[in-house]
Amino acid sequence: MSGETSSYAEMARTISPVRTLRKYLNIFRVSLIERMTYRGDFLIGTILRFFPVITTVLLWKAVFAGNEHRSIAGFNEQRMIAYLLLIHISRMFSSMPGLSGAIARDIRDGNLKKYLLQPLDMIGYLLSYRAAHKVAYITTSAGPYAALFLFCSGYFVGLWPDAATLAAYLASLILAFLIGFFFETCMGMAGFWILEVSSLLWVVNTVNYFVSGQMFPLDLLGHPWDVLLKWLPFQYMAYFPAVVFLREIEGPKLVEGLLMELAWAVVLIAFSRMLFARGLRRYSAYGG
């Protein structure tokens, strides 16, 4: 009898992860259907984002026109503009607008208990939901972005990566999604300790815009700042995937960079889990 009980317990442990995976895949599927109903909004938002892109390109063309050396920190006009265009692809994967604020708001208002009263992990649910959001957004935006890159194809002459580099680039984008998601999740967990986090989030997002390389390549900062910032996780949200595509990083350094990106993703996953577990100890579930 004890042998049968043991076999049933082992079977339960085997089935449980499968059921859990199926549950979050269903959440992903339902969320994807929901987000696809807003594809028109995604399309309009994508087109409107092209205006800052055009402004940035014109700005850097003016900078290089006034630079007699025609090169800044190893970036000529072609590579700089290609980099700035690729940044928007990086951010398409790593940006998580509203995620941290929504988590902090659920904690403050007591809505977090809806996850605690159901067999549902909050972080797992939000990860499935955001993955569906990204798939819907990328699918809807593919056409406009393809048109933009076709229009600017002259800046990519001689810069297109080979198959191995392209695979590394796609891996860096997937890891950028994980780093962006779990970084925002960690920021949202501050709601367990701070009543109002909007000012903190504004400061962090402003700094992140600069240190992730969205404004310009980190190489332009010079030593030691470029080295310091490349040890932090922020570069993987924008800078790193772009320079991988441009083959600024190759060979052993590329493998090292991808492993470091993976390590930061694991660290942020573990840190977000730790913050959530500790935060629940002080959570009172008022409101809601």
* CA max distance for the chain: 86
Encoded tokens for 8: 């049933």
pLDDT of residue 113: 83
Phi/psi region, residue 160 (left: phi>0; alpha: psi -120 to 50; beta: rest), is beta
Domain assignment present for residue 270? The answer is: yes
- What pTM did the predictor assign? 0.85
Reading the chain (288 residues) residue by residue, the pLDDT tens digits are: 444 434 433 444 444 777 777 877 888 888 777 777 766 776 677 777 777 777 878 888 888 877 766 777 778 888 888 998 899 889 889 999 889 999 999 888 888 888 888 778 899 999 999 999 888 888 887 777 888 788 888 888 888 888 999 999 999 999 999 999 999 999 999 989 988 888 889 999 889 988 998 888 888 888 888 888 889 999 999 999 999 999 988 899 999 999 999 999 999 999 999 999 999 888 876 555
Q: Which of 119, 102, 266, 288 is nearest to 184 (CA)?
A: 102
Domain assignment present for residue 151? The answer is: yes
Domain assignment present for residue 288? The answer is: no
CA distance 34 to 62: 43
Domain that holds residue 227: 13-281
Domain assignment present for residue 2? The answer is: no
Residue type, 62: A
Domain assignment present for residue 4? The answer is: no
Q: Which of 179, 188, 173 is nearest to 135 (CA)?
A: 173
pLDDT of residue 224: 86
Phi, psi angles (nearest 5°) of residue 261: -65, -45
Domain assignment present for residue 39? The answer is: yes
Domain assignment present for residue 101? The answer is: yes
pLDDT of residue 3: 46
Q: How many domains does the chain have?
A: 1
Q: Which of 43, 69, 183, 40 is nearest to 123 (CA)?
A: 183
Q: Taking the mean position of all CA atoms in its chain, how far away is CA 31?
A: 18
Give the list of residues 6+ apart from residue 265 with CB closer than 8 angstroms, or none. Answer: 175, 178, 179, 182
Domain assignment present for residue 287? The answer is: no
